[in-house]
Amino acid sequence: MSELQSALLLKKQLTELHKNPVEGFSAGLIDDNDIYKWEVLIIGPPDTLYEGGFFKAHVNFPKEYPLRPPKMKFVTEIWHPNIDKSGDVCISILHEPGDDKWGYEKASERWLPVHTVETILISVISMLADPNDESPANVDAAKDWRDNYPEFKRKVARCVRKSQEDI
């Protein structure tokens, strides 16, 4: 897919999200002159430890989108097994398409060109509610999640409070 086609597709998805907002997040461009760099605000999902939080993230799309996945990085501090300490999101649908060389994921779980900004963000919101501690990006958060849940809750609550101050 050419750069022009990927830009048109991203413009269409952005327009659609503005016309028909999806509960749980908002999205826009970081710079109006660059369709490939988005900023999203994810609202902590109800009935989860992240409820009440406002978590800002950047989504950077490759020129080959939708054939290749974007990269997503939280800029708001967040404690989660599938988000590394620098904020990078590690979720199957954002992994390059095809077979996983380590054998952890099926090709069908990885990036597919049918994914949209909406499906990506809904998956990330779902990940917040239901972490995968089997292949963590943040080993310490996964260890807290499994072995010291009160400490995990305390660290998440601190991130939620901090996110409310940053808005």
Beta-bridge mates of residue 57: 40, 74
Residues classed as catalytic: 90
Separation between Cα atoms, residue 88 and residue 31, nearest integer Å: 20
Residue 5: which of 85, 97, 67, 90 has the closest Cα? Answer: 67
Strands (E), 30-154: 37-43, 54-60, 71-74
Q: Please check whether residue 56 is in contact with residue 73, taking contact to mean a CB–CB distance below 8 angstroms.
A: no
Q: How far apart are the first and last CA of the chain?
A: 37
How far apart, in Å, are the Cα atoms of 152 and each of 33, 41, 113?
Answer: 40, 23, 35
Closest CA to 131 of 161, 89, 101: 89
